[in-house]
Amino acid sequence: MGEGRNFRLWMFVILPLFIAFILTVMNHRSPVQSSETPPLALRQADSVLFEEIPSVKGEEIFGGDEFNVITDEEKREARKYPPVKFQEYKVKNGDNIWKIAKRFGLDFYTILSVNRLRDANYLKPGQRIRIPNQRGVLHKVKPGETLEDISLMYDVSIARIVGANGITDPNQIHAGAELFIPGANLTYSKQREIAASSNILPTFIKPAYGRISSGFGYRIHPVYRRRMFHAGIDIAARYGSTVYAARSGRVKYAGWLGGYGKVVVIDHRDGYETRYAHCSSILVRKGQWVRQGQPIARVGRSGVTTGTHLHFEIRHNGKPVNPMKFLSRHR
């Protein structure tokens, strides 16, 4: 009888209390120490939650993985763009980089980048150079660079790069490979890099065809009839003829501006800007990127002027400088 009472006491009182004590102790155990390795599933979840990036070497990101992909849509769009083709040109007497580029409808950065000339200032008659069928630059892929990187660098779509180079497999894109970048938008630093490789510095080109009818500096103003400072040069060109961007840059202003009349102002991003005044019409808009030699306006006689001409200024850090010291060639 006493043993039965003791058994019931154990079963219904002591045992439940013991179990409660054990559960309490387990709930208050210290968390897993950092030396313990979490389960694989937990580690995988952590890598997703905290965007864990696998460690890879630069050259390993090539080969068609998720870092360097040509989508089906980009492949279809690429068919719209012509592949780059080269022809050989033999330099003639009197030739220079600018004349050759103009002859083939290119800019001189294109010619420089595809030929890697030691000194582009002096071309010898009979010298052979490569001429591409479209404007652009040759780019040597660096370790770790992807198509996406190159597309952003030159502001050119992946599809256009793929089309120009006939790329069908991302494995073709590896460190050291050369890609032609059609229609590349060049930053000032990239222009300097290309020019420096051929020992030639970026310069301004004359923005219109015609003689210089009035120079830089003090003169008797033709309208106000008093001595005033002329902040640029005047180019006597026929009405409606083309005005070209003297150098690549972004259009800062395009419209009517006081005595300038219809004017285009281009910011070249290195402290320099150019102004093209008295135009009859404007072909570009504010914020637009323009390349050197691109048509931007038409010659006119708007604003304060006595006749048809282009007023052209170069300013450095806001101050006018003599354009004749910067122009690489005359039209």
pLDDT, residue 61, reads 35
pLDDT, residue 51, reads 38
pLDDT < 50 regions, the chain: 29-66, 330
Quick count: other Cβ atoms within 10 Å of Cβ 288?
Answer: 15
Does the residue 190 lie in any domain? yes
User: Do 130 and 108 fall into the same domain?
Assistant: yes
pLDDT, residue 225, reads 78
Does the residue 203 lie in any domain? no
User: Do 184 and 216 fall into the same domain?
Assistant: no
User: Do 228 and 280 fall into the same domain?
Assistant: yes
pLDDT, residue 19, reads 67
- Cα separation, 329 vs 331, in Å, equals 7
Does the residue 131 lie in any domain? yes
pLDDT, residue 173, reads 84
pLDDT, residue 41, reads 34
pLDDT, residue 33, reads 42
pLDDT, residue 54, reads 36
pLDDT, residue 27, reads 55
User: Do 27 and 73 fall into the same domain?
Assistant: no
- Cα separation, 224 vs 193, in Å, equals 45
Q: What is the count of structural domains for the chain?
A: 3
Q: Are 217 and 321 in contact (CB under 8 A)?
A: no
Domain of residue 95, CATH code: 3.10.350.10
pTM assigned to the model: 0.48
pLDDT, residue 144, reads 87
- Cα separation, 33 vs 54, in Å, equals 24
Q: Find how far residue 146's CA is from the centre of its chain.
A: 15
Domain carrying residue 251: 211-325
User: Do 160 and 258 fall into the same domain?
Assistant: no
Please tell me what DSSP assigns to residue 14.
Answer: I
- pLDDT digits over 189-235, tens only? 788 788 878 877 557 889 999 999 989 998 887 777 788 899 999 99
User: Do 148 and 41 fall into the same domain?
Assistant: no
